Amino acid sequence: MILTRRLRVPLFLGFLATFLTWLLYGGIFSNLGLESEYLGWVVGIACLPGIFADVAMSRIGHGTGSIWLMVVVNFIFYFAATDLVFAIYKQLGAKLRGIKHNS
């Protein structure tokens, strides 16, 4: 299966968000003894969709710590957001090219 240009970047960003979520919240930094203070803040903010989904799915009001739920939600969110940006960009580009040809 050959991926189109439109799907390559959303898939890459989706998998990148998945990897960073797993890296930060899967306990990898603590197991390796790495300091992740700055990276933790940056990646933590990027992982907010998954954290919100984890909190929303728990019945006790705080996250259950389900790393798989956070990973899947972050992949879907960033894949969909990037795909939407490319779709809008493609439509705006087509409209702008149409305006230039009509002028």
Reported as a single tens digit per residue, the pLDDT across 55-93 is 888 776 666 667 888 888 889 999 999 889 888 988 888
Q: Tell me the one-letter amino acid at 15.
A: F
- pTM confidence score: 0.71
> Which residues span the domain enclosing 93?
9-102
Q: Is residue 2 domain-resident?
A: no
Instruction: Classify residue 18 by burial, with Cβ atoms within 10 Å: 0-12, 13-18, 19+.
Output: buried
Mean of the per-residue pLDDT values of the chain: 76
Helix ranges (DSSP H) in the chain: 5-25, 28-32, 37-46, 48-57, 67-102
Least confident among 7-11, 14-18, 40-44: 40-44
- Could you tell me if residue 14 is inside a domain? yes
For 37-66, what is the mean pLDDT? 75
The pLDDT of residue 31 is above 70: no
On whether residue 71 sits in a domain, the answer given is yes
The reply to whether 94 falls in a domain is yes
CA-to-CA separations, 32 to 21, 35, 54, 62, in angstroms, rounded: 16, 9, 25, 27
Domain-located, residue 49:
yes
pLDDT band with cut points at 50, 70 and 90 for residue 10: confident
- Rounded to 10 deg, the angle between the 67-102 and 5-25 helix axes is 150
Please count the structural domains in the chain: 1
CA distance 100 to 28: 52
In a domain, 88, yes or no: yes
The reply to whether 4 falls in a domain is no
Q: Is residue 89 part of a domain?
A: yes
